[in-house]
Amino acid sequence: MGADFFSAAGYDDDAKHLMSLYDSASLKFHETFFNDTMYLSGLQTEQALPLYLDLVPSSSKTQVLDHLVNDIVHTNDMHTTCGIVGIRCLLETLTENNQSDVAFDMIATVDTYPSYGYMIQGEGNYEPATTIWELWDSDKEGPGMNSRNHIMFGTVSAWMYKYLLGVRPTSPGYETILIAPTSVGRSNYTHASTIVHTPRGDVYSSWKINSDGTVTHNVKIPIGSTATIHVASSTVKFVRESGEYTFHVSKSGEVKEV
């Protein structure tokens, strides 16, 4: 938020002015576009954007989120109705509001139009994607405004780094890091791993579901960085500075470093 920049630079009065504008604009937005339980006509982007931008009053947040999840899960059978702007906000909004399973299932379990799975292997798709398309149905549309390498839709990759593997900076340059995977073990997925290149070195996060149902999570932290690590669904936190660590989570949720 712009107010944070002004505050960090010592311009406290300007920061307060921006926050005042933000509060009044948020209220006006809500009064103009909220219709009892949803914004505007109820489309997914119309709900995801206000939630993502924190424009929704706390008294209406549950209603808006419930409408959004219901539209995805029931009305559209786990499909999105978002475009390039909306999908960027949708995946993170769901995850930040304890709906990471819905986001994961949209990405990983659906292969009918419109979905990422359709791009890769959807029935009737004659052009299996190796990169993200500009349109959900690029295989059916003409050449105009129809890129086959359109990274704006690639925000799904950012979601995987940040949430599925859980690697997120909590200060500039990855000096401090949060590693908190979500959706571990969803939909028969048994493992995931990533390496994130940072100015301080590589951050490594890898988890797997063992044959006995326990979880093993491996992490590697660059020298000079400090990480807070949330292991699987456990609330236990480990704070360490640099190094490589392995954690084991029992079925009861007990966490041990190995």
Q: Confirm if 170 and 219 have CB atoms less than 8 A apart.
A: no
Query: Can you give the pLDDT at residue 40?
Result: 97
Confidence category of residue 56, pLDDT binned at 50, 70, 90: very high
* pLDDT tens digits along 177-234: 999 998 776 767 889 999 999 999 999 999 988 888 888 888 888 888 888 888 755 5
Q: Confirm if 18 and 6 have CB atoms less than 8 A apart.
A: yes
Query: Can you give the pLDDT at residue 86?
Result: 93
| Residue scoring higher pLDDT (171 or 2) | 171
Q: Where in the chain is the domain with CATH 2.60.420.10?
A: 166-257
Determine the length of the chain.
258
pLDDT at 2 over 80: no
Does the domain at residues 166-257 carry the CATH identifier 2.60.420.10?
A: yes
* Beta bridge partners of residue 41, listed in sequence order: none
* Beta bridge partners of residue 39, listed in sequence order: 34
Helix axes 58-70, 84-96, angle to 10 degrees: 110
Query: Can you give the pLDDT at residue 75?
Result: 98
256 contact partners, CB below 8 Å, separation of at least 6: 247, 248, 250
The tokens for 35 are 């219709």
With CA atoms as reference, report the closest residue to 196 among 183, 215, 177, 182: 177
* pLDDT tens digits along 95-115: 999 999 999 999 988 999 999
* pLDDT tens digits along 165-183: 999 999 889 998 999 998 7
Confidence category of residue 235, pLDDT binned at 50, 70, 90: very low
| Residue scoring higher pLDDT (71 or 1) | 71
